[in-house]
Amino acid sequence: MSRAVRIAIVAGPVAALVLGILVPSVLEGGFSVNTTAMTVVVVGTVLAAGLFGDSKT
């Protein structure tokens, strides 16, 4: 698989998860520290997974 395809496969579910966390939080009263931290962790994990996945192949 190409790099773009692998990133899309990983990022799709993660994006859905992030939206599932962010949207209710924003509707309830804006961004919180926990929401922001969770977003940073998730995005960092996705980027790291993509980089490590590429280095293994």
pLDDT tens for 1-40 read 688 787 777 777 777 877 777 777 667 766 666 667 777 8
pLDDT of residue 30: 62
pLDDT in the model for residue 31: 60
pLDDT computed for residue 55 by the predictor: 56
Contacts 24+ apart (CB under 8 A), 49-53: 49/10, 50/3, 50/6, 50/7, 50/10, 53/6, 53/10
Higher per-residue pLDDT: 10 or 51: 10
**According to the model, what pLDDT value does residue 53 have?**
65
